[in-house]
């Protein structure tokens, strides 16, 4: 089975991976900076006498704006790329992102909270272009193992964004500086895409796009009976994986008294493990197993490794248990995306993968909220529930007859 690409084609994919990295780097910046910024009584984004409850509530709402924009933007961007072409929509979305990041930077610089809410939402809306990059890979790659490998590189770019974002946020002079830096970088990426990416996709220009229809097109998840079950399985995976990365830190903070420096190093280490897994390990597994068997196996292994997180009573073991648990879980994301892509035609890739990206963001937001509620009952309980969901989903995949 052929599992290699010409060097020229690999170079053509590089700016697409940079787009993915940018999206998650931006989200990592919001996670890293928004909470300390709003909790800082010496920073004038809120009145100095604002209560802790107000600051915490606004922090949660503000953090929701970026992924909420991505949730609504993913199907819109996917539909636009299907009709007008991948390259054109990708470049225009990046130009819009430039204004979004500048808006966030200026709203922080001049302490305008309402503008920060709006610019965060709009930036997330236009940063929903990861689906375009996935669509290009799906359009051009027929070999399942190679497709999984290339999409896995995309999720490695996600992990790299989560590594670079906090490092950038922690080593700049002010809260607004990282957003200014990213805003200046985005136009360079747009130029790179424009001159180096050759778009051979033939858009569907006969049907006029309906923006209202695009916004509510997520409902097609429930109407397309041929892939509805796969959508449901993918949502369970997104819910479990994204939730795991939020409830485990909560468990660690509640169980052990560690410094912020140590905690940050642990998160960086976990992100690095995710990066290495998708970059080096996934390809070897994808060439050995079919997509469905690989996904089912990863789900079952993940369920067992997740349970091991709550076993040790010494913090030092968490580096091993948490680090091992994220390896199979992060590889599930590109694998389940490939599995979905294999069930639809080239003309449907943009819409379907746009919906899939929207499900990822929805799983991210809902799992964080529900994980906090369940953790209030018993802190390790969300981790146990995640392991159970992963195990059940693994059996669903392996029993699938489609």
3-class state of residue 124 by DSSP: helix
pTM (whole model) above 0.75: no
Q: What is the structure's pLDDT at 3?
A: 57
For tokens 């429930």, name the residue: 222
Q: What is the structure's pLDDT at 182?
A: 92
CATH number of 8-198+211-398: 1.20.1250.20
Q: Which two tokens stand for residue 320?
A: 């091993």
In contact, 284 and 1? CB cutoff 8 Å = no
Among 92-96, 170-174, 209-213, which stretch is predicted with the lowest mean pLDDT? Answer: 209-213
Q: What is the structure's pLDDT at 347?
A: 66
Instruction: Let me know if 154 is exposed, middle or buried by CB neighbors in 10 A (0-12, 13-18, 19+).
Output: buried
Instruction: Identify the residue with better confidence: 150 or 209.
Output: 150
Among 93-97, 209-213, 279-283, 396-400, which stretch is predicted with the lowest mean pLDDT? Answer: 209-213
Instruction: Identify the residue with better confidence: 322 or 258.
Output: 322
Cα 165 to Cα 168, 337, 352: the distances in Å are 5, 25, 29
* pLDDT band per the 50, 70, 90 thresholds, residue 1: very low
Instruction: Identify the DSSP state of 209.
Output: P
Our CA angle for 175, 271, 325, nearest 5°, is 140
In contact, 155 and 278? CB cutoff 8 Å = yes
Instruction: Let me know if 287 is exposed, middle or buried by CB neighbors in 10 A (0-12, 13-18, 19+).
Output: middle
For residue range 82-136, what is the model confidence (pLDDT) as tens digits? 778 888 888 999 999 999 999 999 999 999 999 999 999 999 888 877 767 767 7
Instruction: Identify the residue with better confidence: 114 or 276.
Output: 114
Cα 292 to Cα 125, 126, 155, 330, 397: the distances in Å are 32, 32, 19, 16, 7
Q: How long is the chain?
A: 402
* pLDDT band per the 50, 70, 90 thresholds, residue 221: low
Mean pLDDT of the region 221-235: 78
In contact, 313 and 398? CB cutoff 8 Å = no
* pLDDT band per the 50, 70, 90 thresholds, residue 362: confident
Residues 6+ apart with CB under 8 A from 296: 394, 395, 397, 398
Tell me the helix, strand and coil percentages in the chain, rounded to 5: 80, 0, 20
For residue range 284-340, what is the model confidence (pLDDT) as tens digits? 898 898 888 999 999 999 999 999 999 988 999 999 999 999 999 999 988 988 888
Query: Does residue 199 carry a pLDDT above 80?
Result: no
Q: What is the structure's pLDDT at 399?
A: 86
In contact, 118 and 103? CB cutoff 8 Å = yes
DSSP string of 245-280, one letter each residue: HHHHHHHHHHH----HHHHHHHHHHHHHHHHHIIII
Among 126-130, 192-196, 213-217, 372-376, which stretch is predicted with the lowest mean pLDDT? Answer: 213-217
């Amino acid at each position: 089975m052929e599992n290699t690409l010409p060097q020229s084609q690999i170079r053509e994919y590089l700016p697409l991976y940079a787009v993915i990295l940018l999206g998650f780097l931006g989200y990592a910046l919001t996670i890293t900076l928004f909470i300390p910024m709003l909790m800082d009584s010496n920073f004038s984004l809120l009145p100095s006498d604002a209560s802790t409850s107000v600051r915490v509530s606004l922090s949660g709402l503000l953090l929701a704006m970026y992924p909420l924009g991505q949730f609504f933007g993913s199907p819109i961007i996917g539909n636009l790329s299907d009709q007008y072409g991948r390259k054109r929509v990708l470049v225009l979305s990046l130009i819009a992102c430039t204004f979004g990041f500048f808006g966030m930077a200026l709203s922080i610089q001049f302490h305008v909270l309402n503008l920060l809410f709006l610019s965060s939402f709009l930036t997330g809306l236009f940063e929903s272009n990861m689906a375009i990059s996935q669509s290009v890979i799906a359009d051009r790659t027929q070999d399942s193992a190679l497709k999984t490998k290339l999409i896995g590189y995309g999720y490695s770019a996600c992990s790299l964004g989560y590594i670079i974002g906090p490092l950038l946020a922690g080593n700049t002079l002010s809260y607004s500086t990282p957003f200014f830096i990213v805003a200046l970088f985005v136009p360079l990426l747009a130029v790179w895409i424009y001159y180096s990416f050759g778009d051979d996709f033939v858009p569907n220009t006969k049907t006029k796009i309906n923006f209202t229809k695009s916004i509510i097109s997520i409902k097609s998840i429930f109407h397309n009976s041929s892939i509805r079950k796969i959508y449901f399985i993918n949502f369970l995976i997104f819910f479990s994986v994204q939730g795991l990365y939020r409830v485990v830190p909560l468990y660690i903070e509640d169980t052990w008294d560690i410094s912020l420096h140590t905690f940050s190093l642990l998160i960086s280490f976990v992100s690095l493990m995710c990066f290495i897994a998708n970059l080096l390990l996934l390809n070897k597994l994808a060439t050995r197993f079919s997509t469905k068997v690989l996904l089912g196996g990863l789900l079952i292994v993940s369920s067992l490794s997740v349970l091991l997180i709550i076993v040790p009573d010494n913090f030092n073991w968490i580096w091993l248990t948490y680090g091992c648990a994220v390896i199979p879980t992060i590889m599930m994301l590109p694998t389940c995306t490939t599995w979905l892509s294999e069930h639809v035609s080239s003309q449907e890739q943009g819409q379907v993968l746009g919906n899939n990206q929207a499900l990822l963001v929805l799983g991210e937001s809902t799992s964080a909220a529900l994980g906090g509620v369940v953790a209030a009952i018993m802190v390790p309980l969300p981790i146990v529930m995640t392991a159970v969901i992963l195990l059940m989903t693994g059996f669903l995949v392996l029993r699938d007859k489609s």
